[in-house]
Amino acid sequence: MKDVYTFADLRDWRAATGDEKPPLRLSVFGDPVAHSASPPMHNAALEKCEIDARYCRLHIRADELESALRLLPQAGFIGANVTIPHKTAVLPVLDEVDDHARKIGAVNTVVVDGEKLIGFNTDGPGIVRAIRAEFGVDLHDLRVLILGAGGGAGRAIAVQCALENCERLVLANRTLDKAQALADELAPYFKSPRVLGPVARLEAVALDIDAIKRQLPNIDIIINATPLGMSPEQLRHSSFDIRHLPLLPHLLVYDTIYTAHRTPLLQATDDAGARGANGLSMLLHQGALSFEIWFNREAPLEEMRAALLASRV
């Protein structure tokens, strides 16, 4: 199996992959895609469940997306994941999109059903399971602050918080307009006054240490959905220094970054005596949910987790 296949390979899939045993019948579509940890995770699950299929990476550019998806039935695919930058662009191409994915406005899982392509989103439900697994609490019961609410991951998490009817939601973003637009969109979910006290249930704020400091007494969990902390360069070039958040010991901190190193935010969490977890569990649970959609059976979580841990850099 190659590390990455292309659209040209998909056009003649049997010639490109004919000798592969088990056959390649699942993939992740992305651009770039070489970094994706989904193949080792899903291949561990397929092997454990003795399913005669394997999962690969497909480098698909934006202008190839529709044609590539339409090739999946004839190439014998069971389904696919879609990642950056296709999660929103894929919606109009699909024959059906489930309600939940439509509300999130993004699809990360496609099922091939005969000639039909059906879209789902497991990123939102994945974070619900991840938070429950890491901290033993439900998003529904929490006052949540999302850093980077203007991006793809931040949006999926924010919409999921709204659908879960979480206690309180604060959307922080470098580009405040994006967080404000999302807050306006989600306002109908936060009409009832669940919280007693002076704070609003739903707010958009700038990604600024002082603005966030004012929010923290009324927050239970911080979810970082920015890439800040993935590499030292990113921290050097950002005016927002995530290492200097004035964290309090009562806080839960979930960093969606899933690199092997303890991120600067999680180091600061440890220093403050608060509880932190990284994004590996979100990646794991969104993958497990995709597997459950494709095969209508429980996913082997421990094998998937071990494969992710082994493949992480």
Binding residue (CB under 6 A) for ligand NAP from 93, 111, 169, 228:
228
Report if residue 258 touches ligand NAP, rule: CB under 6 A.
yes
Catalytic residue among 2, 21, 48, 87: 87
- Residues contacting ligand NAP: total by CB under 6 A: 27
Tell me if residue 213 is catalytic.
no
Binding residue (CB under 6 A) for ligand NAP from 2, 3, 74, 175:
175
Contact by Cβ (8 Å): 57, 4: yes
Distance CA 127, CA 108 (A): 14
Report if residue 264 touches ligand NAP, rule: CB under 6 A.
no
Residues from 272 through 311 that contact ligand NAP (CB under 6 A): 279, 282-283, 286
In the complex, least distance from residue 195 CB atom to ligand NAP, rounded to whole angstroms = 25
Binding residue (CB under 6 A) for ligand NAP from 69, 182, 225, 245:
225
Report if residue 172 touches ligand NAP, rule: CB under 6 A.
no
CB nearer ligand NAP, residue 20 or residue 31: 31
Tracing tokens 């794991």 back to the chain, one arrives at 284
Amino acid at 305: R
Binding residue (CB under 6 A) for ligand NAP from 129, 168, 178, 305:
178
In the complex, least distance from residue 116 CB atom to ligand NAP, rounded to whole angstroms = 27
Report if residue 207 touches ligand NAP, rule: CB under 6 A.
yes
CA distance readout (Å), 297 to 87, 287, 292: 25, 13, 5
In the complex, least distance from residue 30 CB atom to ligand NAP, rounded to whole angstroms = 11
Report if residue 69 touches ligand NAP, rule: CB under 6 A.
no
Report if residue 153 touches ligand NAP, rule: CB under 6 A.
yes
In the complex, least distance from residue 286 CB atom to ligand NAP, rounded to whole angstroms = 6
Report if residue 57 touches ligand NAP, rule: CB under 6 A.
no
Of the listed pieces 49-57, 60-68, 109-117, 168-176, which binds ligand NAP according to CB under 6 A?
168-176
CB nearer ligand NAP, residue 178 or residue 201: 178
Report if residue 109 touches ligand NAP, rule: CB under 6 A.
no
In the complex, least distance from residue 308 CB atom to ligand NAP, rounded to whole angstroms = 10
Q: What is the 3-state secondary structure (H, E, C) of the chain?
A: CCCCEEHHHHHCHHHHHCCCCCCEEEEEEECCCCCCCHHHHHHHHHHHCCCCCEEEEEECCHHHHHHHHHHCCCCCCCEEEECCCCCCCCHHHCCEECHHHHHHCCCCEEEEECCEEEEECCHHHHHHHHHHHHHCCCHHHCEEEEECCCCHHHHHHHHHHHHCCCCEEEEEECCHHHHHHHHHHHHHHHCCCCCCCCCCCEEEEECCHHHHHHHHHHCCEEEECCCCCCCHHHHHCCCCCHHHCCCCCCCEEEECCCCCCCCHHHHHHHHHCCEEEECHHHHHHHHHHHHHHHHCCCCCHHHHHHHHHHHCC
Report if residue 257 touches ligand NAP, rule: CB under 6 A.
yes
260: Cα within 13 Å, side-chain hemisphere:
8
Residues that bind ligand NAP (CB under 6 A): 84, 148, 150-154, 173-175, 178, 207, 225-228, 230, 234, 238, 240, 256-258, 279, 282-283, 286
The residues that are catalytic are: 87
